[in-house]
Amino acid sequence: MNTMNPKPANASLTTMSELVLPNDTNTLGNLMGGRLMHWMDIAAALASMKHCGCPVVTASADNISFENPVKLGNVVTIEAKVTRAFSTSMEVYIKVQGEDLPTQFKYLSNEAYMTFVALDPNGRPRKVPELIPETEEELRRFEGALRRRQLRLILSGRMKPKDATELRKLFDEDFMHIEKA
């Protein structure tokens, strides 16, 4: 099987659930952020590996904001899906929901994007298959991925704002002021 054939985004969909136990919580009875980020990293890594068929490493995690706390005894469901594949890296969208099982109340805890790099047997970055967005949501995330990638590269100092062509299309006037400064 040729693993470099383009793959649909949905082929990487990974869903993971965890019960929030006492050792997962802080003194307020809320799921600790670090524990949740650990679970998010696992789910996103699995989605990446489904896409590229090889080991991956976490390259970055975008702003992770906690909208609603997940309480002791609730269930956390994490969905992860590759949104775009670049040369050797993949952006993954992660959605986290909490659920109070007795009341069957579901709520959004947070959303984030993470980036993973595929590795060859020698631990070096290797090429990944292209991603095929099929739904409107997948296409929207696919198109936004290049802008998010450019922003990550600017913030990490690996790209100059003037070279971020996709971001310039959105904020050309703002970038002109930055360049003059």
pLDDT tens-digit readout, 15-39: 999 999 999 999 999 999 999 999 9
What pLDDT is stored for residue 174 in this prediction?
A: 55
Residue 95: both structure tokens together? 């959605």
Average pLDDT, the chain: 92
- Residue 76: Cβ within 10 Å count: 21
Sign of the torsion formed by the C-alpha atoms of 132, 114, 99 and 67? negative
Closest CA to 69 of 40, 101, 31, 28: 31
Q: CATH topology for 7-132?
A: Thiol Ester Dehydrase; Chain A (3.10.129)
Domain spans, the chain? 7-132, 135-181
